[in-house]
Structure formats: structure tokens, C-alpha cells
């Protein structure tokens, strides 16, 4: 047609267009990968939840001990003994193995049970002295009971105490238990921040959520060395 001229834009600007196409070919997969990583991270956090003082139950009338056990004196004169909720939130689902049987005599500080997860374990020591009168077989055979109701159906032993008054002096009750729980969470938070970075660098961001909150089951992904350190720092009866 007269007065009409045709220009091939790919002859003049072909390199620029090719460069733009390549740029987007690289950018889009990278963007998708980044979003996928963020989604995975969010899913991990949602799955673990957050461990804070707001979700921990501290029933009135229970005596809490520094090694994350509790005791409650029944009208029968027997004391129910179990594990506190804070410890179970940290470990995730574990297998309870009783180390004593009904009729055994135990002293405060004696080994009474172990908590196992894969090849890692924690030792649990008795907070009180006395004679074991009953062992909760359900807590051992059905771990979900231990986690679902640690202060009710998830009790571990019943012990007839031989030195109840003296040994409860070293426990925390009511408001003192609440104050101790807050201090203990702070200690555990510091422990998790240091230990997760040392033994499992890629897990540090999951152990502590933005703002420094402890994630649910934070101890569950850490190696045996970390469990041993936790044992020494938090489960001593002294």
C-alpha cells in the first residue's frame, strides 16, 4: 500500500525483548518457590502452635515441683503423682514407661518413669517419698490420655506419702505455681533459642516464633544431646 511502511520490531529490538522474556522466566519460578517456602514455614508454625502461659492449665490444689511433676493428696491419704502440662507440650507425644510397680517403696528423687520418643528419652524422678499403691497402666498404654488429661486420667502413680508436709515445702501451689510457671517458660525459651541453633540450625526459626514465643513440641525435633541438656537443666529434683 502506498504510504505504508513495515518495520520488524524484532529486528531492531529483538535482544531487548528476549532479555525481558528470560527475566520473567527466571523471576516467576523464583517467586513461586519463595511463596512455597513461606507457605511451608507457615504450615509448620500452624502445626506446632505456640506454647505460652495463656494455654497452660495449673489446677488449684495441685503441688507442682521443679522437675515438672505434680502431686495431689486424695481423701484416701494416697497422693496422685503425674507430669505437668508444660513438659508434655514441649516433648510432643511420647511413650511413658513405668520404672516401678505397686508395692514398691520410693524416696524423693528416685527414678519412677522414662519418657521416650524414637531414640531419645527423659528420666522422671519421684517428687515425694512413700509406698506406691497403684500404677496407671492406661497412661502407659495410651499416650494420648497422658497428653489430653495430664492432671486427671493421665496421672502416673498413686503413692502413700511418708513425709508429705516436709516434701511439699519444696513445691509450688496456687499463685506461687503460676509465678514459677512464668519464670520457667522464660528459662525454657532461652534454652531453646541457644540449643536449637547449636544442634539444629535450620530449626531455630521454628522453635521460636516471631516475638520469641516457644512453638508446641519444640523439643521433639531436637537431637538426643539437647534432650540430655534439658534433663540436666529442667528435670532435676534438687
Residue 202 has pLDDT above 90, yes or no: no
**How far, in Å, are 32, 47, 122, 205, 234 from residue 220 at the CA level?**
30, 13, 12, 15, 16
Do 124 and 71 share a structural domain?
A: yes
Does the pLDDT value for residue 129 go beyond 80? yes
Q: How confident is the model at residue 132 (pLDDT cuts 50, 70, 90)?
A: very high
Q: Is residue 125 part of a domain?
A: yes
- For residue 137, give the CATH number of its domain: 2.40.50.100
> Residue 195: which pLDDT band, with cuts at 50, 70 and 90?
confident
d(CA 43, CA 143): 25
The reply to whether 150 and 225 lie within a common domain is no
* pLDDT reported for residue 209: 54
7-11, 41-45, 88-92: range with lowest mean pLDDT: 41-45
pLDDT greater than 60 at residue 188: yes
Report yes or no on 128 lying in a domain: yes
d(CA 76, CA 149): 22
Across residues 152-162, what is the average pLDDT?
97
Assess if residue 82 is contained within a domain.
Answer: yes
Which of 174, 190, 222 is the C-terminal boundary of a domain? 174
Cα 29 to the center of its chain, rounded Å: 35
166 and 67 within one domain: yes
Read off the pLDDT of each residue in 204-232 and give the average, rounded to a whole number. 77
Residue 54 covered by a domain: no
Q: What is the pLDDT of residue 192?
A: 85
In a domain, 10, yes or no: no
> Mean of the pLDDT values across residues 8-32?
58
Q: Kindly state whether residue 168 falls inside one of the protein's structural domains.
A: yes
Is residue 204 pLDDT above 90, yes or no? no
Number of compact structural domains in the chain: 2
Indicate whether 122 pLDDT > 80: yes
3-state secondary structure 220-233: CCCCHHHHHHHHHH
Go through the chain and tell me how many residues it has. Answer: 238
Residue 16 has pLDDT above 50, yes or no: yes
The candidate with the shortest Cα–Cα distance to 26, out of 34, 15, 14, is 34
Percent of the chain with pLDDT over 70: 71
Which of 148, 174, 200 marks a domain boundary?
Answer: 174
Q: Give the residue from 152, 99, 160, 147 showing the smallest Cα distance to 124.
A: 99
Domain finish residue from 174, 198, 224: 174
Full domain range(s) for residue 139: 63-174
CA quadruple 207, 213, 217, 223: dihedral, nearest 10: 30
Residue 85 lies in a domain: yes
What is the rounded average pLDDT for all residues in the chain?
82
Question: 51: pLDDT confidence band, cut at 50, 70 and 90?
Answer: confident
On whether both 105 and 198 belong to a single domain, the answer is no
Same domain, 118 and 70: yes
How high is the pLDDT of residue 50?
Answer: 72
Amino acid at each position: 500500500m502506498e504510504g505504508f511502511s513495515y518495520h520488524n520490531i524484532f529486528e531492531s529490538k529483538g535482544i531487548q525483548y528476549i532479555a525481558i522474556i528470560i527475566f520473567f522466566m527466571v523471576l516467576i519460578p523464583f517467586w513461586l518457590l519463595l511463596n512455597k517456602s513461606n507457605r511451608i514455614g507457615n504450615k509448620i508454625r500452624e502445626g506446632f502452635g505456640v506454647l505460652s502461659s495463656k494455654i497452660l492449665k495449673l489446677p488449684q490444689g495441685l503441688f507442682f515441683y521443679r522437675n515438672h511433676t505434680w502431686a495431689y493428696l486424695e481423701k484416701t491419704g494416697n497422693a496422685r503423682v503425674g507430669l505437668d502440662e508444660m513438659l508434655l507440650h514441649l516433648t510432643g507425644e511420647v511413650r511413658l514407661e513405668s520404672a516401678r510397680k505397686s508395692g514398691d517403696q520410693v524416696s524423693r528423687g528416685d527414678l519412677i518413669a522414662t519418657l521416650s520418643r524414637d531414640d531419645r528419652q527423659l528420666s522422671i524422678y519421684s517428687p515425694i517419698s512413700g509406698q506406691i499403691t497403684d500404677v496407671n497402666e492406661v497412661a502407659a498404654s495410651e499416650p494420648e490420655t497422658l497428653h489430653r488429661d495430664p492432671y486427671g486420667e493421665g496421672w502416673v502413680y498413686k503413692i502413700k506419702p511418708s513425709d508429705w508436709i516436709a516434701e511439699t515445702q519444696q513445691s509450688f501451689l496456687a499463685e506461687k505455681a503460676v509465678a514459677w510457671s512464668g519464670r520457667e517458660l522464660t528459662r525454657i525459651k532461652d534454652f531453646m533459642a541457644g540449643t536449637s541453633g547449636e544442634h539444629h540450625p535450620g530449626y531455630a526459626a521454628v522453635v521460636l516464633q516471631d516475638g520469641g514465643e516457644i512453638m508446641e513440641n519444640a523439643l521433639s525435633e531436637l537431637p538426643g544431646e539437647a534432650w540430655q541438656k534439658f534433663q540436666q537443666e529442667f528435670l532435676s529434683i534438687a
